[in-house]
Amino acid sequence: MKIFKFIISKIFLRKAILGISMILLLCMANYTTFTATRSILSTYQGYQETKYINQNGVYIANLDPDSYIDMDVITKDRTQVVYEYLNNNFNYAFYTDGFVVTIPNIDNMEISLSYINEEYYKLNQFELSQGENLDFDYQLDNEIPVLIGKGLSKTYPVGSTIEIEESVLGRPITLKVQGVLKQNAYHSNYYALNSKTYYNFSILVPVNEEFINNANIDLQLNGLMDLTILDTTNEKIINLSEILKENLGLEFNFFSQKENYDYFNEYYIHSLKIIAITTLILLIVITCISIWNALVSIRLMLKDFTINFLVGLSYSKLRKIFYSYFGILSCINLTVIFIFTAFNRYGCWLRKDASFATYGLFGLIGIDWLALFVVILSDIIIGIVIIENMLRKIKKVPISLGVLQ
């Protein structure tokens, strides 16, 4: 410890610029690794979510990007015709969100209402921390059982009721808290699997046929955008497309399991490969610059090291000192990345961004911790490469020559 303190304070810190540059380079490497890992993990989580709906006979609706929405043509009567057709001919999972409501809560967040039907609920297997599963067999005039996110559970414990002015029904309704979702429950965007909405400040409202029939055009139309048709055939889907076109003037694409699988392989795997390769190249470049920086340090500190060799320092001791020193630099960087991430997560709370507000130690969630773990692994690899190169360089120079330098 004494030797370590001596070498750190009398050799390394006397040339602080070299230490700072190493910290900055490591910071770049860590940020790159962290960002890439989080992107990959988040996409993987999204993929896991879609696995439930990515089955044979399942088709996912998607509005054709070239299709023009003419709101003059689309009326409640017409959307109603579409839903009647859907109810009579299909088994479908309904999901739509983004309807904001203001209700009192201790964090003063705006609350998002997500509407799901029974099929969607069954497919997604929501995990609860308290309470019971949703019940879809209710009357609109009575209390509607809902699931709420963790952020609302203190204000609205299980069994309590919430009075809201329901925008899609256009009248006040009473929601009864049936259960609380596990913290950081999320919903991934099917067309951007790495992007997700957290349910911590959401209310999951179960919708049944009666609800949809009484809902306004916004809910009915939005619901069609993410519609998932279950247990069906291609012929029936073609008919549905025609009904949609006829009544709403909209072109919908319905992607089958194979198309989804191919899309995933083509789009996501390709993107993830590019991310992985880019990250690898960046890490190699940063490692090379770090080696240059380390060798520059050795060039300038060689005399100090060799004089220490002269008076009893061994290569194995120096190796330990180097690894400890690198460990300290790495810890500084991990702290920086940690603070940066915590600050970003905390920023969502400050901005009252309910869709992204998450719970966790210092606001960090599972993928953040996993990404930090990968950063530690990458630091270990980079550290080994740099330190072994430094030692090789030092060993190459005879002690006598080093002292003279």
Partner 1 sequence: MLKENIIEIKKSLFRISDVLELCSVYIFCFFLNTLFEYIKTLDLESYILKEFLNKFTTYQKLIVLLFTFIVIVFHYQMLHRKKTEIFCKKLVGDTIFNITIRYIFDCLMILIFIYLLSSLVNIYFNFNLINNLYLVGIFFVYIIISAREVQKYENF
Partner 2 sequence: MKIIDLKIKEKVYKNKKTQLSILNNLNLEVNVGEKIAIVGESGVGKSSLLNIIGLLDRDYDGEYTLFGLPTINLHTSELAKWRNEKIGFVLQESALINSLTIEDNIKLPLLYADSRKKEFNSKDFESIINAIDIQHILKKKPLECSGGEKARAVFARGIIMKPQIILADEPTASLDIENRKRIINLLFKMNKEFNTTIITVTHDLEIANRHDRVIHLERRK
Binding-site ranges for partner 1 (CB under 8 A):
17-18, 20-21, 24-25, 27-28, 32, 35-36, 39, 43, 191-195, 267-268, 270-272, 274-275, 278, 289, 292-293, 296, 299-300
Q: Considering the complex, what minimum distance in angstroms separates the CB of residue 404 from partner 2?
A: 7
Q: Is 238 in the site for partner 2 (CB under 8 A)?
A: no
Q: Is 350 in the site for partner 2 (CB under 8 A)?
A: no
Of 104 and 398, the one with the shorter C-beta distance to partner 2 is 398
At residue 268, what is the residue type? Answer: Y
Q: Which is nearer to partner 1, 4 or 44 (CB)?
A: 44
Place of tokens 């497919």: 123
Is residue 401 close enough to count as binding partner 2 by CB under 8 A? yes
Q: CB of residue 23 vs partner 2: minimum separation in angstroms?
A: 26
Q: Does 404 bind partner 2 (CB under 8 A)?
A: yes
* Minimum distance of partner 1 from residue 389's CB (angstroms): 16
Q: How near is the Cβ of 10 to partner 2 at its closest, in Å?
A: 16
Nearest distance from C-beta of residue 272 to partner 1, angstroms: 7
Can you tell me the distance from the alpha carbon of 366 to that of 193, in angstroms, rounded to the nearest whole number?
17
Check if the beta carbon of residue 53 is closer than 8 Å to that of residue 362: no
Stretch of 129-137, 221-229, 324-332, 397-405 lying at the interface with partner 2 (CB under 8 A): 397-405
Residue 401 touches which of partner 1, partner 2, none (Cβ within 5-8 Å per kind): partner 2
Residue nearer to partner 2 on the CB measure, 160 or 405? 405
Instruction: Record the tokens describing residue 384, joined without a space.
Output: 């080994």
Given the rule CB under 8 A, which residues bind partner 2? 401, 404-405
